[in-house]
Amino acid sequence: MATADIQAFLDDLYAQLQPLRQGQLACYIPELAKANPDWFGISVVTLDGRSFDVGDVQQTFTIQSISKVFVYAMALEDYGREKLLKKVGVEPTGDPFNCLIRLDEDSKRPDNPMVNAGAIATTSLITGQDPADRLNRLLAMFERYIGHEVFIDMSTFLSEKATGHRNRAMAHLMLNFGMIDEPLDDALDLYFQQCSVLVNTHDLAVMAATLANRGINPITGTQAVDAAHVRDILGVMYTCGMYNFAGEWAFRVGIPAKSGVSGGILAVVPNQAGIAVFSPPLDSHGNSVRGLKVFEALSQEYGFHLFDLSLGRCRFTAALGEDS
């Protein structure tokens, strides 16, 4: 049975990679250093709502930078593509995620929404009557993708708020150069809150499957985001989602993806599946070590690379279809 083969492939991959002891936990946000380096989950959700899960897929963790994709999507809906492009670019930086933005008085915008500067600028644009209204809109947005109520981990939020001096410095630099507007504290609080949204690996795979399914959550049938924006969201994930590993990732794995410092990676195989991996130890780029290896193997096995997909070499539908 083919779906049994998919599950067996994931089970084998999990067993092979579980003993790996490379990478370091993120510790610049003190709460993240409390993670268990053995946590490891892989989840694949198909567009007809089937799921293949292995490991600690129900273990909750904070979404961190993966939130940037979804807040960018929200800003696209609030402002439209052209207006948003004037505020936040789409150029990969080749720099670490927390790099202090390049001080370019001409451009008047941060490079892209996946690095912290661009993400803070994007969050500062989220509309609402007051901070509570903006937070409620943001939580409602996450709930459309995930399909159930979401919560913020207060300890992580407070931990990041207390130690986020670098992000605060970036916000002040952007204010100085006219890239964002006051009040900065509200924007930074909302940014720290979006990073502290609690998810598990299966939730992330459902979120990814929603983007793979033209913005429709395959479990609930809810339109989480206008289909017209999905191409732009995936485009920015593909070029900027894995920070200064984005080029290598595009070459080796070739799936639009986004990583976070808590150890999650979410990846979208358009028209095929949403995939997520969670494993907290990170490499020097801030990407999950086990996560990278899982995606290299999956891309190779099923032909998930975008150029395999467009050349008709994806083997996943066939694998699913044989016993459907």
Ramachandran bin of 214, using left for φ above 0, alpha for ψ from -120 to 50, beta for the remaining angles: left
Nearer to ligand DON, 64 or 200 (CB): 64
Shortest spacing between CB 42 and ligand DON, in angstroms: 19
In the complex, which residues of this chain contact ligand DON (CB under 6 A)? 64-65, 97-98, 116, 160, 167, 195, 259-261, 286
Nearer to ligand DON, 51 or 167 (CB): 167
Which CA distances in Å does 193 have to 46, 77, 96, 274? Answer: 29, 20, 22, 24
Residue nearest to ligand DON (CB): 65
User: Catalytic: which of 72, 145, 191, 302?
Assistant: 191
Report how far Cα 6 is from the mean position of its chain's Cα atoms.
Answer: 24
Shortest spacing between CB 96 and ligand DON, in angstroms: 9
Nearer to ligand DON, 119 or 314 (CB): 119
Nearer to ligand DON, 118 or 215 (CB): 118
Helix (H) or strand (E) holding 209: helix 201-212
Is residue 238 part of the annotated active site? The answer reads no
189 near 161, Cβ under 8 Å? yes
Written as six digits, the tokens of 33 are 């250093």
Is residue 28 part of the annotated active site? The answer reads no
Is residue 65 part of the annotated active site? The answer reads yes
Which CA distances in Å does 318 have to 6, 7, 195, 224, 302? Answer: 11, 15, 37, 28, 10
User: Catalytic: which of 14, 43, 54, 65?
Assistant: 65
Return d(Cα 95, Cα 20) in angstroms, integer.
Answer: 27
User: Catalytic: which of 57, 68, 69, 145?
Assistant: 68
User: Catalytic: which of 124, 243, 262, 299?
Assistant: 243
What phi and psi, each to the nearest 5 degrees, are found at residue 182? -65, 160
Shortest spacing between CB 100 and ligand DON, in angstroms: 13
Helix (H) or strand (E) holding 273: strand 273-278
Shortest spacing between CB 282 and ligand DON, in angstroms: 8
User: Catalytic: which of 206, 261, 268, 294?
Assistant: 261
Nearer to ligand DON, 261 or 309 (CB): 261
| Residues carrying an active site annotation | 65, 68, 191, 243, 261
